[in-house]
Amino acid sequence: MTAAIVGWAHTPFGKHSDETVESLIVQVARDAIADAGFEPADIDEIVLGHFNAGFSAQDFTASLVLQADPALRFKRATRVENACATGSAAVHQGVRAIAAREARVVLVVGVEQMTTTPGPEIGRNLLKASYLPEDGDTPAGFAGVFGKIAQAYFQKYGDRSDALAAIAAKNHKNGVGNPYAQMRKDLGFDFCRAESEKNPFVAGPLKRTDCSLVSDGAAALVLTDIETALGRKKAVAFRGLAHAQDFLPMSKRDILAFEGCGEAWRRALGAAGLSIGDLSFVETHDCFTIAELIEYEAMGLTAPGEGHRAILEGWTQMDGRLPVNPSGGLKAKGHPIGATGVSMHVLSSMQLTGTAGDIQVKNAEIGGVFNMGGAAVANYVSVLQPLR
């Protein structure tokens, strides 16, 4: 273990038309530093996760973090981006800076403001995370990409509409207890399963309740080396972490296997000396319900084609053998692209310090985070455990 999370901050996710990318960054940066018990002058390096792709007119944003306090002036600050895994890319870069002994205290911020962008433009921006020569004309944008994945999965393994609806219902039920979640409403299985005026089909077999929410928000955390973390009031260490990048064109891989996801999980669990059964919970990337279903298989929870068992038999419920997305996931919490991976690490740290409130997993000891960019292209896994 080379680094630990010692403080954090999180805005509610949702529509924040009265905020800007800058104001969201400043809020969580200040709050995370204070929560960690540091002064801004103590920060050695800043990493900002901000996808943008057209959502913000301001496209040079790393230095906006310095607006949080004059003492941050002249600190190293870098913006990183890796599609929907941008937040975890920022977190992992911070961990690497500490592991390389280039920094002792790192501030990581993730942010996105999406809702001020017109709907059609949102779709075009998100589709930039696909391989445009193959997918650039996909109807319904990125939802269309995952709609094609869902259709192919159904053709190979059978109709899994019940499983997708159960995943959506689970995550919405969990999200009710998350004060940061954009949608805090238990929709129930029947609503998620049935096509209706309020829940129409969007792409292929995917309905509106199968798709994550367009959102604004920010999250931040402070990383330190282990020696420093031992002196803080709380500390959640990285027991294992991995990043596996796959080919961008779906035509070059088995898109139903999420092979990069599986590789990242194998590497991270191997580094931690653990198996998937040792985890207390997982926060996984449910940009679409079909993604969570396939991720059950990629992480080794079930065999290929049998992910439906994990949800329909209750394994991934809050009281199941491996609770998945106790936060409500992207489905209920929202998915402000650059903030998502940082949010996953913050909420997992809350679980592991017993401070998750109404979404607390009982006796949470070890947590897993999987954050994905594109259709299983950028794959990041973190295995987290309290330092003491």
222-250: pLDDT as tens digits: 999 999 999 999 999 999 999 999 999 99
> What pTM did the predictor assign?
0.98
Residue 270 phi, psi (nearest 5): -65, -45
Please report whether residue 88 resides in a domain.
yes
Confidence of residue 141 (pLDDT cuts 50, 70, 90): confident
Please report whether residue 282 resides in a domain.
no
Q: Which domain, by its residues, includes 220?
A: 3-117+215-229
pLDDT reading at 96 higher than 80: yes
pLDDT reading at 293 higher than 90: yes
Which three-class secondary structure state does DSSP give residue 293? helix
Average pLDDT score over the chain: 97
Q: What pLDDT, on a 0 to 100 scale, did the predictor assign at position 212?
A: 97
Please report whether residue 58 resides in a domain.
yes
Question: Which residues are identified as catalytic?
Answer: 84, 335
Calpha distance 167→170 (Å, rounded): 5
| 21 Cβ contact partners less than 8 Å away, ≥ 6 residues apart | 50, 56, 58, 61, 64, 111, 112, 113
| 194 Cβ contact partners less than 8 Å away, ≥ 6 residues apart | none
Please report whether residue 136 resides in a domain.
no
Q: What pLDDT, on a 0 to 100 scale, did the predictor assign at position 114?
A: 97
Calpha distance 222→240 (Å, rounded): 18
Q: What percent of the chain has pLDDT over 70?
A: 100
Q: Classify the C-alpha dihedral 48-28-183-353 as positive or negative.
A: positive
* Average pLDDT rounded to a whole number, residues 17-26: 97
Confidence of residue 68 (pLDDT cuts 50, 70, 90): very high
How many other C-beta atoms lie within 10 A of the C-beta of residue 153?
22
207-217: per-residue pLDDT in tens?
A: 999 999 999 99
Please report whether residue 97 resides in a domain.
yes
Confidence of residue 341 (pLDDT cuts 50, 70, 90): very high
* Average pLDDT rounded to a whole number, residues 353-367: 98
Please report whether residue 64 resides in a domain.
yes
Confidence of residue 265 (pLDDT cuts 50, 70, 90): very high
Q: What pLDDT, on a 0 to 100 scale, did the predictor assign at position 140?
A: 86
* Average pLDDT rounded to a whole number, residues 120-147: 93
Q: Which CATH number belongs to the domain containing residue 97 in this structure?
A: 3.40.47.10
* Average pLDDT rounded to a whole number, residues 195-202: 97
| Chain Cα centroid distance, residue 372 | 7
Please report whether residue 21 resides in a domain.
yes
The candidate with the shortest Cα–Cα distance to 211, out of 281, 280, 133, 123, is 123
Please report whether residue 167 resides in a domain.
no
Confidence of residue 388 (pLDDT cuts 50, 70, 90): confident
Q: What pLDDT, on a 0 to 100 scale, did the predictor assign at position 92?
A: 98
Total count of domains within the chain: 1
